[in-house]
Amino acid sequence: EGRDGVPEHVELEATGNLTVDRAREVASTGVAYLSVGALTHSAPILDLALDLR
C-alpha cells in the first residue's frame, strides 16, 4: 500500500482548477502527472484540414 491506500504502481494525475502557479504545491502531494489546461486555453487557433482523394 502506498499513498493513502493507493498502491505504488498506480500513477495518479491532478487535474481541474490547476494553475502553473500552484503546480509545485500540487506536485508535492506525490501525484505522477499534472494537467494544466491554462497552457492551451490561450493558444491561438489553427484551422488544419487533410483532404484525401
- Mean pLDDT on 36-48: 77
3-state secondary structure 1-53: CCECCECCCCCCEEECCCCHHHHHHHHCCCCCEEECCHHHHCCCCCCCCCCCC
Using the predicted structure, report yes or no on whether residue 1 has a pLDDT greater than 50.
no
What's the predicted TM-score (pTM) here? 0.57
Using the predicted structure, report yes or no on whether residue 3 has a pLDDT greater than 70.
no
* pLDDT on residue 41: 72
Better-predicted residue by pLDDT, 42 or 34: 34
Q: For 8-41, write each residue's pLDDT tens digit.
A: 888 989 988 888 888 899 888 888 999 887 767 7
